[in-house]
Amino acid sequence: MKCKEETGIDAYGGYYKRKQQRTYDYNNKTGKWAPAKKGTGDTQEILFGQRRISDTFRINSGAPDYIEGRKLADVAADLESGKLHPDQFEVKYFIDPNSGKKVAECNRTLAVLSMAGLKPTKTKEIIPSQEVLNRLDPSLLENKPIKYRGETFNMPGRAIPVTVGPNNLEILDIVRLP
């Protein structure tokens, strides 16, 4: 059973075509169609999209009370112990127009999940603002890659340095995707 294409008219009188989500996969071993496994088709991981992050969730950032102002390591420990659940951490991402890769808009959220050895379970694709896209622009001085012990941290990337702050690039930790 392949994807069916649906044609219709939108609210503004324009035509659209939409493919239905695939619900069955072909099993080459048995030669039969079987229900698709959850998550089938979207295996591209979400990469870090900032030069660095600080070690604390900001206060007055709109973050939930259970993480606002807390250290990333403490939140990661709560995730590991089961006090917090990965579904409580929605990772917003966008598609990098240059590489076509998924890039995190909220890097601290992706970092705490990674620190706990977890992958995002709740994600949402967003349309990035120009400010967010500018984080990936290597021509800007504030986006020059950080080098540490022979390793260069480029954006987007699978690792992100945790620093004291935006003006103090002393590296406290390196967070890597699991």
> Domain ranges in the chain?
5-35, 46-176
Distance of CA 163 to the CA centre of its chain: 20
| pLDDT, mean of residues 137-141 | 79
Task: Give the pLDDT score at 140.
Answer: 80
pLDDT band at 14 (very low <50, low <70, confident <90, very high): low
Pick 62 or 91 by higher pLDDT.
91
Q: Would you say residue 4 has pLDDT above 90? A: no
Q: What would the two tokens of residue 36 be?
A: 């698709």
Task: Give the pLDDT score at 42.
Answer: 52
Q: How far is 174 from 73, CA to CA, in rounded Å?
A: 12
Task: Give the pLDDT score at 112.
Answer: 96
- pLDDT mean across residues, the chain: 81
Q: How far is 22 from 155, CA to CA, in rounded Å?
A: 32
Q: What would the two tokens of residue 72 be?
A: 């990333």
Specify whether the backbone of 107 is left (phi greater than 0), alpha (psi in -120 to 50) or beta: alpha
pLDDT band at 100 (very low <50, low <70, confident <90, very high): very high
Q: How far is 34 from 133, CA to CA, in rounded Å?
A: 41
Q: What would the two tokens of residue 42 be?
A: 């979207």
β-strands 15-19, 5-9 pairing: antiparallel
Pick 66 or 20 by higher pLDDT.
66
pLDDT band at 16 (very low <50, low <70, confident <90, very high): very low
| pLDDT, mean of residues 68-97 | 94
Is the omega angle on the peptide bond into residue 35 within 30 degrees of 0, that is, cis? no
pLDDT (tens digit per residue) in 18-39:
444 444 444 555 655 555 444 4
Q: How far is 120 from 46, CA to CA, in rounded Å?
A: 9
The radius of gyration of the chain from alpha carbons, rounded to an integer in Å, stands at 20
